[in-house]
Amino acid sequence: MSLNVTRLGAIARKEVIQLRRDTRSLVLAFLLPLLLLVLFGYAISWDVKDIRLAVLDQDRSADSRALIDAFRASGYFKVQGSLDRSQAIEPLLLRGSSQMVLVVPPDFSARLRTGKTAVLQALVDGSDANTATIVLAYANSIVRSFGLVTQLDARRVRPAITAESRVWYNEQLLSRNMIVPGLIAVIMMIVAAMLTSLTIAREWERGTMEQLASTPVSRSEVVVGKLLPYVAIGLIDVILCAALGVWLFDVPLRGSVLLLLVLSTAYVIGSLGLGIFISAVTRSQLLATQVSMLVTFLPAFLMSGFMYAIDVMPKALQALTYLVPARYFLVVTRGIFLKGVGIEVLRVQGLLMIVFAVVGLALAIRVFRKELHG
């Protein structure tokens, strides 16, 4: 693959001029990534907070009030008010105005004081299973520690063992800290696949590809020349997203920015190559965009571990995720952002990024070689 600098420059410069005059591409290149980041940063949160809790307190004792205070004090629940009859429970859950209703039976305090097991009823809206599970877990832990404290208080002893857990790398367990670095991997795929599908397929549709083919420019020069401006855009997007993540969302950036940029470059070259490959095969802007969505964007979004944990996927799907480059890039971005790890830890992922870049580029050039000779 020998590249002539004059021809390469001509292709790259032409591409930049076209990009500058194409609003659709500019929006895709710069506005869409920021929009996605802000949208996801604010809208998506797996944190469950301020759970709406209604209470039917049939006991009305000091103990039941202490229990409700424990819920309030946990910070996870917002106690909306107390009900006076059990018929009022269902409408609340049906309308969704409460997520959980806690029923304290009349004998709660009495049983607690006589050393018997007191029973509480928690009614949870299970229509959102994920949230319901988290709500129940919170409720259980509050009740357990309330029970323990009451019991120990009664006997005037201290607990033998207490577990003090600490979370590393994402201390407050903020889902935003996971989303922002992951989103960078997804955004790069969008930029790469969508933009290239526009630029290459356009040349086929408008007949300019034939004109290119009649000149001494080689396929590698066309592919690499077209790639250059988009690699630059990809890197600008990484920097923009990282900066926005750090300043707007307080996501920690603990590792080396340089390493992030180097591995991002490899990742974006691979993605661009894939995009070029797709648009060279489909030769239509519309079809290329749709196919790109299907084979690059969606897997990056759904099967990389960005939205859904890979461990809980069906085995067959899990096997497929090994083919999704974003899966590895996600490890890179989360590692560099949150853990601050370097290449010594990301060796395998780094190598895979380079493999991805080479394969993507080779695929793109290969398709061109075939096509120009019709």
Partner 1 sequence: MNGQSAAVVAHELTRSFGEFVAVDRVSFEVANGEIFGFLGPNGAGKTTTIKMLAGLLLPSSGHGSVVGFDIYRETEEIKRHIGYMSQLFSLYGDLTVDENIEFFSGLYSLTGSRRRERRDWVLEVAGLQEQATHLTSELPLGFKQRLALGCAVLHEPPVLFLDEPTSGVDPLSRRRFWDLIDTLTRSGTTVFVSTHYMEEAENCDRLALMNRGKLIALDTPAELRAGMRDPLLELRTSDAPRAVEALREVPGVLETALFGRSIHVAVSDEAGVQDTMVARLAERGIELYAIDNVVPSLEDAFVAQVRAAGGAPVE
Q: Alpha-carbon distance 358 to 362, whole Å?
A: 6
Query: What's the sign of the alpha-carbon dihedral 113, 114, 116, 121?
Result: negative
Out of 110, 132, 143, 213, the residue judged to bind partner 1 by CB under 8 A: 213
Name the one range near partner 1 by CB under 8 A: 201-209, 231-239, 311-319, 353-361.
201-209
Question: Contact between 214 and partner 1 (CB under 8 A)?
Answer: yes
* Residue closer to partner 1, measured from CB, 8 or 51: 8
* Residue closer to partner 1, measured from CB, 10 or 79: 10
**Min CB(46)–partner 1 separation in Å:** 44
Q: Alpha-carbon distance 202 to 193, whole Å?
A: 14
**Min CB(41)–partner 1 separation in Å:** 34
* Residue closer to partner 1, measured from CB, 59 or 203: 203
Q: Alpha-carbon distance 69 to 51, whole Å?
A: 14
Question: Contact between 370 and partner 1 (CB under 8 A)?
Answer: no
Question: Contact between 97 and partner 1 (CB under 8 A)?
Answer: no
Tokens describing residue 202: 């356009």
Tokens describing residue 371: 């096509």
- Which secondary structure element, helix H or strand E, spans residue 54, and what is its range? strand 51-57
Task: Name beta bridge partners: 100.
Answer: 53, 124
Out of 47, 171, 210, 250, the residue judged to bind partner 1 by CB under 8 A: 210
* Residue closer to partner 1, measured from CB, 23 or 165: 23
Number of residues that bind partner 1 (CB under 8 A): 27
Q: Alpha-carbon distance 141 to 202, whole Å?
A: 59
Name the one range near partner 1 by CB under 8 A: 113-121, 211-219, 269-277, 309-317.
211-219
Sites for partner 1 among residues 5-44 (CB under 8 A): 6-7, 9-11, 13-14, 17-18, 21-22
Question: Contact between 239 and partner 1 (CB under 8 A)?
Answer: no
Give the DSSP letter string of 64-127: HHHHHHHHHHHSSEEEEEEESSGGGHHHHHHHTS-SEEEEE-TTHHHHHHTTPPP--EEEE-TT
Question: Contact between 318 and partner 1 (CB under 8 A)?
Answer: no
Give the DSSP letter string of 282-345: H--HHHHHHHHIIIIIHHHHHSSSSSS-GGGS-HHHHHHHTT-HHHHHHHHHHIIIII---TTT
Residues lying near partner 1 in the complex (CB under 8 A): 4, 6-7, 9-11, 13-14, 17-18, 21-22, 206-208, 210-218, 372-374
